[in-house]
Amino acid sequence: MEKAGAVRQLALIILAYFLIFPCMAKALEDNTSLALLSQYDDGKLYKIDKLLVLQLSGSYREMGRQEGYLLKDLINDYYNDSVINYFIRENNMSYERLALDSLERFSHYPKRFRDIISGISETSGQSLANVTILSRVPYIAPGCSAVFAWKDYSRDGSTVAGRNLDFYSSMEDFINYTIVCIYNPTDGSHCVASVCRLTQLEIHTGMNDQGIFLEANDGSSSGGSIFFPNRITYLGSLLFDYSTLEQLDAAVHSSKIDWATLLNVADEREARSYEWATFDLKRAMPRRDGFLASTNHFVDPEWGLVHLQGDPYNTTIRRDNLLDMGERYRGKFDARAMMSVLDTDIENGGPSGDFTRLKVVALPKERVLWVKIPKYQNWTEVDLKELFLNEQPT
């Protein structure tokens, strides 16, 4: 009897393996695959679990029209939540002031980026002024972290990049408006992926079809809080126009920034950090060959800066924590290890906290992004090779 019972129990386990486990695997597969929601002209809107992935193709105006049409309802909701409720009603900002500042900024953009915003306005049902205001809502944040591992620090020697984007707690209401937007221009420019909010034109987290990854952090704690509205340093242009880090380096050194910024870039072989004040620019060399951590303060000794008073936004603590974690994970960095680093809170020796609104891991060699929106969407893989349509030669 005991033997018969054991046989029946084994049979049930085997049955469960074949019936239940495939269902679990299928569920996981469904959460990581692109599901087409809608299409307009050559633009397509996909979903991976709750993460929206927007694939655009055509001229810049055509891509703007595709975005406006495919995201029309969400754009209207986002405008009401952010501009009307948050900025105007809760913070007593004037619509006229918001429109004037945004339209002035818009007038300075290169034509192709003005075309994107104009296209969005044409099909979204929102005026040009409204779309320009909305496109500037998620501007560069004061508490971000970037970390890169390559050479002896990564598992296979190629670059693994990670970034946390931090916002004020009140911005948490807008987390569900985060998307991955894929631009496939037909003018010969590079294809570019941007992890951003709806209609956001400035690219602060992105990668192009050549595997160049870019992320930008606020640098005002070291570089000052002077803003030059007559300077347009559109960081996205670096991804659309340049194929190598050497080309990008020349472009950066040929420009002036409008606001103090830490610009961190990488390809599959290395990462670089630019500490970019409105009055000067220095490339900060990594303290360790193969590992780079950058937060919100300048570290190049040539600046001659003293220790930051009060450690604004825990910028020095976050960087020190990342440097320590770099040694802990030396030789083990891959996508999963980087996710673990970005998911570690400051109290436990990491860079994250309740203020972290977006986390991204990038694999330049594989053209893959992993995206996490805390409290909304867990780590989700986005394979850009499937979404880049017009990859250009270097």
Handedness of CA 33, 77, 375, 221 (dihedral sign): positive
Instruction: Give CA–CA dist 230/29, Å, rounded.
Output: 48
Query: Are 174 and 127 part of one and the same domain?
Result: no
Helix residue ranges, H only, the chain: 2-32, 60-70, 72-78, 95-108, 111-124, 128-135, 220-223, 236-241, 245-253, 315-328, 335-342
Query: Are 82 and 166 part of one and the same domain?
Result: no
Instruction: Give CA–CA dist 361/125, Å, rounded.
Output: 34
Q: Which domain holds residue 75?
A: 36-47+57-135
Last residue of a domain, which of 113, 135, 157? 135
Summarised one tens digit per residue, pLDDT across range 199-225 is: 998 899 999 999 999 999 999 999 999
Mean pLDDT of 372-384: 96
DSSP string, 322-373: HHHHHHHTTTTBSHHHHHHHHTSBGGGTSSB-TTEEEEEEEETTTTEEEEEE
Query: Are 197 and 343 part of one and the same domain?
Result: yes
Query: Are 261 and 300 part of one and the same domain?
Result: yes
In the prediction, which pLDDT does 167 show?
79
Last residue of a domain, which of 80, 107, 135? 135
* CA quadruple 186, 189, 194, 196: dihedral, nearest 10: -80
In the prediction, which pLDDT does 13 show?
32
In 3D space, the residue among 346, 288, 354 whose CA is nearest the CA of residue 319 turns out to be 346
Query: Are 164 and 108 part of one and the same domain?
Result: no
Instruction: Give CA–CA dist 243/222, Å, rounded.
Output: 30
In the prediction, which pLDDT does 234 show?
82
Query: Are 66 and 169 part of one and the same domain?
Result: no
Q: Is residue 347 part of a domain?
A: yes
Mean pLDDT of 224-252: 93
Query: Are 212 and 75 part of one and the same domain?
Result: no
Q: Is residue 23 part of a domain?
A: no
Neighbouring C-beta atoms of residue 66, cutoff 10 Å:
26
Query: Are 215 and 308 part of one and the same domain?
Result: yes
Query: Are 258 and 296 part of one and the same domain?
Result: yes
Q: Give the number of domains in the chain.
A: 2
Query: Are 152 and 240 part of one and the same domain?
Result: yes
pTM assigned to the model: 0.90
Q: Is residue 29 part of a domain?
A: no
Q: Is residue 14 part of a domain?
A: no
Query: Are 98 and 155 part of one and the same domain?
Result: no
Query: Are 279 and 316 part of one and the same domain?
Result: yes
CATH of the domain at 365: 3.60.60.10
- Is residue 351 within 8 Å of 145, Cβ to Cβ? yes
Q: What are phi and psi of 267, to 5 degrees?
A: -120, -165
The 8-class DSSP code of residue 195 comes to E
CA 76 to chain CA centroid, Å, is 22
105 Cβ contact partners less than 8 Å away, ≥ 6 residues apart = 132, 136, 229, 232
392: pLDDT confidence band, cut at 50, 70 and 90?
low
Helix residue ranges, H only, 200-271: 220-223, 236-241, 245-253
Q: Is residue 308 part of a domain?
A: yes
Instruction: Give CA–CA dist 13/229, Å, rounded.
Output: 67
194: pLDDT confidence band, cut at 50, 70 and 90?
very high
The 8-class DSSP code of residue 84 comes to I
Summarised one tens digit per residue, pLDDT across range 105-126 is: 899 889 999 999 999 999 999 9
Least confident of 63-67, 99-103, 125-129, 323-327: 99-103
Last residue of a domain, which of 103, 135, 167? 135
Q: Is residue 362 part of a domain?
A: yes
Summarised one tens digit per residue, pLDDT across range 29-62 is: 445 689 999 999 999 999 999 999 999 999 999 9
74 Cβ contact partners less than 8 Å away, ≥ 6 residues apart = 52, 177, 198
23: pLDDT confidence band, cut at 50, 70 and 90?
very low
